[in-house]
Amino acid sequence: NGLLYYFKESNQDCIVRLVSRLDMDTSGLIIVAKNQYAHSELSNQMQNNNVEKRYLALVHGHFSEKEGTIDLPIYRPEIEGVMARVIDERGQRSITHYKVIESYKDAELVECLLETGRTHQIRVHMSYIGHPLLGDPVYGPKKCPFNLNGQVLHAKVLGFIHPRTGEYMEFNSELPDYFSSLIERLKK
């Protein structure tokens, strides 16, 4: 809606073409193409896993290994009204590289680099290995020690090849206030 409003207010006649998207309650960067050519080129990069996607997440507990790779298939069961995904051999190969950035009393700040881009990938992988995201209403514990409105997940970096110039471009998004405030609370 914000994009449509922007184009309407700036008198630009443009069709919004989403190349990437975020789960509800996830903050950060997305890729939007302003024309069909750019959409096609950027979508190909996404499909071929040639887009750099780095996220920051706050997760429950502490990792025994401070960095690693999760290579587990994600599957969506055909259950009416259920959006949740599961780790299942019938699913698509899904690869998440993680690295602990900072540790707190009962949580850790983790950077996740996606090699693939499946729906709910970070949320499913982290939950499966015993470190669900703080505030995740689908894959996390029913009770969260903080008053959160969804998972604490932020799409921090997006990098891709410009469709016309061939130049590598990388964008970085600052953490939103709620995320930074929660980190400060966890440090105490």
CA 121 – CA 135 distance, rounded (Å)? 16
CA atoms within 13 A on the CB side of 126: 39
How would you label 137-170 residue by residue, b for 16+ Cβ within 10 Å and e otherwise?
ebbbeeebeeebebbbbbbbbbbbeebeeeeeee
Contact 117, 133 (CB under 8 A): no
Q: Is 25 a catalytic residue?
A: no
Could you say which of 13, 23, 71, 88 is catalytic?
Answer: 23
The catalytic site residues sit at 23
